[in-house]
Amino acid sequence: MRIAFAGTPPFAASALKALIDAGHEVALVLTQPDRPSGRGMQLKPSAVKELALQHGLPVLTPETLSVKRAPEVAQPALETLETANVEVLIVAAYGLILPERALNAAHGIGKNKDIRSLNIHASLLPRWRGAAPIQRAIEAGDAETGVTLMKMEAGLDTGPMICKCTLTLTDTDTADVVTERLAAMGAELTVKALERSDELTHTPQPEEGVTYAAKILKSESRVDWTLAADAVARRLRAFTPFPYLSAAHNGEVFKIRAARPVQGEGRPGEVLRVDEALVVACGTGALCCTRLQKAGKGEMPARSFLQSMPIAVGEVLE
C-alpha cells in the first residue's frame, strides 16, 4: 500500500519501521524539525527522520502546517502531501496540529473508503486524550492502558475508533518501559489493520469516560510531600525518564531517580532514615529513595549520594 507517515519520537519510529518491514510503500514522511539536544545542544534529527533517511525515504520537516500562521512553510508541505498520491496518512505522536487539508489528503481506505488519516494513540480512548497519555495513566494508577487506532478528525483525539489493544500496568512500570511496549503493540496493530484495509470500520467514542492527558511540564517535578507515598511513587514512575522528581536540601536541588512507597510516619518531607536508602515521610506512608542525582552529576546509589550530600534524620526536605 502506498502511504504517507507523520511522526516524531521513537514511539512513532517503531510504527514506521514495521510498515517498511511489511512492504508498504512510504511515499512521504513528515516529522518535526531537528532540535538542540545533549550538553552541546547540537541539532539532532528526530527518531523518525533518522529511520526515514536510512531507508532513503523523502522527508519534510515543516515548523508548522498552518497556512494562516506561516503560509510560506505550510503551503509547500501540504501541496507535497496532497500530490503524493497515497491511500492513507498514518500518524503517530507527530506533535504538530494537522489541518483538514492534511487529514483529507489521502484517497482513503476502509469499507467506505472514508479513513484518509489514521492515528496510533497510546491509550484506551476516550480515556487520556492528549499529549501525555502514558504518563498520566501511570500517574493516575490505572490498572491498564493500551493503543487505539482511530480515524482522525479536527478535534483533539476525538475521532471514531477503529480497533484497540490492551496492556496491563504493574506497580513497577515506568513511562519509558510502557512506551516501548505500547510502541511495539501499536506498530503490530497498524500493520494488521492495513492487511484488511478494505474491511475497516469505525465507531464513535463514548461520551462518558473522557479524560485529558496534559503535556508533562518540568515544573511538575518538585515532590509534594503532603501526598500519599503511593501517589508520589506513581508520579515518579510516570515521570521516568523525564523529568523525574526533584527535592531540595538546604536549597540544593537533587533528583530522585528510583524510589518505592514504604511504611513510615512523620511530618511531610521529614527524613526518617539515612543508610542504604533515603526514607522520607509523606502525607501517608513514606518514600524509600534508592537512587538519586545531584545537579550536574550522574545518578548514584543512595549511600553514595548521602556521602556527598549529608542529610540527617529529622531534617525536613523541601
Cell numbers 506512608: residue? 285
- Residue 279: burial class (beta carbons within 10 Å; 0-12, 13-18, 19+): buried
The rounded mean pLDDT for the chain is 97
**pLDDT score recorded for residue 42:** 87
State the pLDDT confidence band at 32, using cuts at 50, 70 and 90: very high
Residue 159 has a pLDDT of 97
CATH of 218-308, one of 3.30.360.10, 3.40.50.1000, 3.10.25.10, 3.40.50.2000: 3.10.25.10
pLDDT, position 221: 97
**Which is nearest to 259 in space by CA: 154, 143, 174?**
174
What 3-state class would DSSP assign to 281? strand
* 199: number of Cβ within 10 Å: 10
Rounded to the nearest 10 degrees, how much is the dihedral formed by the CA atoms of 92, 97, 99, 101?
-40
Q: How far apart are CA 283 and CA 91, in angstroms?
A: 42
Q: Which CATH superfamily is domain 2-213 in?
A: Formyl transferase, N-terminal domain (3.40.50.170)
Q: What is the reported pLDDT for 117?
A: 98
pLDDT of residue 315: 98
The rounded Cα 261 to chain-centroid distance in angstroms is 24
Q: What is the pLDDT of residue 317?
A: 98
Q: Which helix (H) or strand (E) holds 91?
A: strand 88-92
pTM listed for this prediction: 0.95
Q: What is the mean pLDDT of residues 66-90?
A: 97
Residues 6+ apart with CB under 8 A from 90: 3, 4, 5, 6, 15, 19, 117, 118, 119, 120, 190
Q: How confident is the model at residue 242 (pLDDT cuts 50, 70, 90)?
A: very high
pLDDT digits (tens, 9 = 90+) for 291-315: 999 998 999 999 999 999 999 999 9
DSSP code at position 97: P
Q: Compute how many other C-beta atoms are within 10 angstroms of the C-beta atom of residue 155.
A: 9
For residue 143, pLDDT over 80 is answered with: yes
CA 149 to CA 110: how far, in whole Å? Answer: 13
Ordered by start, the domain boundaries in the chain are: 2-213, 218-308
State the burial class of residue 89 (Cβ atoms within 10 Å of its Cβ: 0-12, 13-18, 19+).
Answer: buried
Phi-psi region of 113 (alpha: psi -120 to 50; beta: other; left: phi over 0): left
Q: Are strands 144-151 and 161-168 parallel, antiparallel or unpaired?
A: antiparallel
The predicted structure's pLDDT at residue 236: 98
Closest CA to 289 of 239, 242, 247, 228: 247
For residue range 269-288, list pLDDT tens digits in order.
Answer: 999 999 999 999 999 999 99
The pLDDT score that the predictor gives to residue 38 is 74
- Residue 41, pLDDT score: 79
Could you tell me what percent of the chain has a pLDDT over 90?
Answer: 97
| pLDDT value of residue 44 | 94
Distance, in Å, from the CA atom of 228 to the CA atom of 262, rounded to the nearest integer, reads 10
Partners of residue 144 on adjacent β-strands: 168
